[in-house]
A and B are shown apart, each in its own frame.
Chain A
Amino acid sequence: MELLERYLRAVKFFLPRRQQDDILRELSENILSQMEDKAAELARPLDESEQAAILKQHGHPFVVASRFRNTPVQYLIGPVVFPFYWFVLKILFWIGLGVCALNSIALLGSGEPVRQLLHGLLGFAHVALPVFGWVTFVFAAVDFFQAKSHLVDKLNRRWDPRSLPAIATPAQKVRRSESIFGLIGGTVYVAWLLAVPYHPYLIFGPAASALRLAPEWHRFYLPVVLLAIAGLAQAVVNLVRPEWIWLPPVTRLVSNVVALVILRSILRANSYEFVLVAESANGARYETVAHIANLLILCALGAVALGLSIAVIIQAWQCLREIRQWIRRRGNPLPSRIS
């Protein structure tokens, strides 16, 4: 019975200390009874392979021991909180991957695209893993406290079906008011952009005589004007063709991608002097103003770049959804109430 002893010792290792002896005594008795029965049936003692077959039938020591553990099923994040946790993880993953992809695309012209791509992917893993770890920690804590405070039970008691949000009917057309507003806003913006080179007052206000834009801006002026015209064109087209609901998200997506490329070029120029003091100005007062303006513009550009990166990911997803709905509606004129 050496095999049985070895088996019991292995089971013991995985058992809770307090119950070890009790469980092993009982398990040992039951297995011995089974072996005796089998031996009686065969009218001879069992050989090692027959004993092994009986032990194998009982299961691996780890599995056997786990069945004796009385601990309830344990979750790090339970089924109530898990959908929210999974949703946040997915959003963060796609945002991170999107930023990484945009970065890699922008670096393709750097001369070492493969190295830069690998560097970008490693950078993503380096940032993503701790972020996922912290998100998991936060949601585990949320789950723990909601379980402790019986939050779900309380919500369930207070819940009223009438508080459920109404079903939004998918838009069939771009609203006329939206297109008109876009047209007016776009026209004012384009007019402002076209007037700025001749009237610096429109940017600098009273300081227009003392400050001027750095020459770097001239490189980006035309693309920025073209972007503004593209927005204007979209509003005009949707005024004529309101059923083209896919056009606004597509225009926004393309504009934001182009804007990101422009921003990247601005930030990579490494000349963080966006505003200069005009030669005619005198006095250190304007140097300080220009310095503060440069700092603010740099921060604003960084924030806009981050915002645009997030927007591009979300808009890419919305864009796909709109195009899919549009195609579906063309094939089937009856819109689905719930999609």
Chain B
Amino acid sequence: MASGTSNHDLFENLRLELRRGSLVLAVLAALRKEQYGYTLRKTLGEQGMAIDEGTLYPLLRRLESQGLLVSEWREEEKRNKRFYRLSADGKVILKQLLAEWQSINSSLNGML
């Protein structure tokens, strides 16, 4: 029983580790179209890339501080919201990351 729980925890840790890198890619890809935090989270969830708030919102700020995203406060439905979109640098990085991801994917497919 204890071993089962420990295996489950181990799997969960490894799964999160595996997803962590992919989440950046997913966020950058989703922000080719402008969105604000909450709708972005919903979009990612609908696409099967669920991400919790505590991870997404700090991630958006980090990517913005790295120059990969730009943001703008704008009124929508009578409330001010912060909209994010991919910057020019972000587009270049996304392209490179996608190529890398495809390369990893094909390598893994070859091994499995």
Contacts and interface: CB of A to CB of B under 8 A. Distances in A.
B68 to A, nearest CB: 15
B32 interface: no
B79 A58 contact: no
B53 A58 contact: yes
> Interface centre among A34, A57, A67, by most B CB within 10 Å?
A67
A146 interface: no
Contact of B54 (A26, A37, A67): A67
Interface residues of B, number: 19
27 contacts: A23-B61, A25-B73, A25-B82, A26-B57, A26-B82, A27-B57, A29-B37, A29-B38, A29-B79, A29-B80, A29-B81, A29-B82, A30-B37, A30-B38, A30-B41, A33-B36, A33-B39, A33-B81, A34-B38, A57-B52, A58-B53, A58-B54, A59-B54, A63-B54, A67-B54, A67-B55, A68-B61
Contacts of B41: 30
A11 B54 CA distance: 12
Nearest to B58: A67
A70 interface: yes
A32 interface: yes
A5 to B, nearest CB: 16
Interface string B37-72: 111010000000000111101100110010000000
Interface string A122-162: 00000000000000000000000000000000000000000
A58 B55 CA distance: 10
Given A30-B57, A70-B65, 13 more contacts: A25-B73, A26-B37, A26-B57, A29-B37, A29-B80, A29-B81, A29-B82, A30-B37, A30-B38, A57-B53, A67-B58, A68-B57, A68-B61
Interface in A24-73: 25-27, 29-30, 32-34, 37, 57-59, 63-64, 67-68, 70
B12 to A, nearest CB: 18
A34 B57 CA distance: 14
